[in-house]
Each structure stands twice: as structure tokens, then as C-alpha cells.
């Protein structure tokens, strides 16, 4: 519980600085496409000698996060979804799950034009599927497997129906 509080505090600080970067970019270039904020800031604000270090830092953070997320997703799928205990024999299964998830991530990356669109697409499903069980868990209420599974199914169906049936008629994008 204490780790969740620390993590939440760090997330708030992180998003605060992301917002500050967005405000700086908006002040310096009001006509700028929001998806170009970081490239603009690196080009216009960061001194020449530090630009390479900043770009390398961003790429290393993205690669490290992707690697960690893929590892966590594979282990979680193996243990929580399939119900296996982690043993030395199970490592090859975890590796195969990693390969499948990695292939799915590559396919997703090829479907979208930029990373922001991928982020909105994934968050659309995540927020509808996992927010309800997550809030119940944070409040200390026990959430069973069936409740989580029902939330995932309902959230996924809701996201698909809204994005493919109602976005055009209401002009409100689900993402």
C-alpha cells in the first residue's frame, strides 16, 4: 500500500512536468501540433551540446519502459491468467508469451501513425477495463477473478462499440 502511494506521488510529479513542457511549447509556439511538443522543445529550447544526450535519454527511457512492460505482461499472463506457478521449466513458456506479446506490440505499432495515437488507443481499453477493479482494490474491497474478467469484457466491448459505431455520429472520440 505504501509503494502505491509513493508511485502515485511520482506519477503526479511526472505529469506535472509533462504539463509544464506542454505549456512552455504552447507559449513559445501556439500554432504547434501537440504531438510535436517534445521534438520542438528539443530543437528550440535545449542547447546544441545537450540535444543528443536528451534524445538518447528519451530513447533509453522508452526502450527500458517497453522492456519492463513486456516482461511484466509476460509473467503476469503466465501466472495470473493461466494460473501457473513460476518454475525453471516455465521460463520457456514465459519466453513464448513474450514473443507473442512483442509481435502484437509490433503489429499495433504498424497500425498507427504515431505513438500518441497508440497510447490513446491502449488507454481507451485500459481505462474502461481495469479502472473499476483497480478503484475497488484501492478502497480495500476484495475483487474476485470473475469481476475482473467481466470488467475486461465489458470495457473492451464498450470501447469497440463506441469507437466504431458512435464516434462518427456524435463527433466524440472514445480515445
Distance CA 164, CA 73 (A): 27
Distance CA 175, CA 173 (A): 5
- The CA–CA distances, whole Å, from 59 to 11, 19, 52, 118 equal 19, 20, 10, 17
- Number of C-beta neighbours around residue 25 at 10 A: 20
The closest alpha carbon to 58, from 33, 39, 35, 36, belongs to 39
- Number of C-beta neighbours around residue 155 at 10 A: 20
| pTM check: above 0.75 | no
pLDDT in tens, the chain (175 residues): 678 788 888 889 988 998 998 899 999 999 998 878 889 999 988 898 899 999 999 999 989 988 898 998 888 888 877 777 777 778 888 899 999 999 998 998 898 888 777 887 788 777 777 788 888 888 888 877 788 788 888 888 888 887 777 777 777 666 5
Amino acid at each position: 500500500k505504501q509503494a502505491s502511494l509513493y508511485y502515485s506521488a511520482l506519477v503526479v510529479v511526472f505529469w506535472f512536468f509533462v504539463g509544464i513542457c506542454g505549456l512552455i511549447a504552447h507559449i513559445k509556439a501556439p500554432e504547434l501540433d501537440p504531438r510535436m511538443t517534445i521534438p520542438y522543445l528539443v530543437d528550440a529550447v535545449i542547447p546544441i551540446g545537450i540535444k543528443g544526450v536528451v534524445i538518447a535519454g528519451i530513447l533509453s527511457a522508452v526502450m527500458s519502459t517497453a522492456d519492463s512492460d513486456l516482461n511484466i505482461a509476460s509473467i503476469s499472463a503466465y501466472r495470473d491468467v493461466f494460473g501457473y506457478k513460476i518454475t525453471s521449466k516455465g521460463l520457456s513458456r514465459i519466453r513464448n508469451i513474450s514473443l507473442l506479446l512483442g509481435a502484437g506490440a509490433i503489429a499495433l505499432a504498424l497500425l498507427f501513425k504515431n505513438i500518441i495515437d497508440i497510447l490513446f488507443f491502449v488507454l481507451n481499453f485500459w481505462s474502461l477495463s481495469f479502472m473499476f477493479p483497480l478503484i475497488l482494490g484501492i478502497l480495500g474491497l476484495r475483487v474476485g477473478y470473475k469481476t475482473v474478467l467481466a470488467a475486461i469484457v465489458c470495457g473492451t466491448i464498450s470501447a469497440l462499440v463506441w469507437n466504431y459505431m458512435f464516434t462518427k455520429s456524435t463527433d466524440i472520440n472514445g480515445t
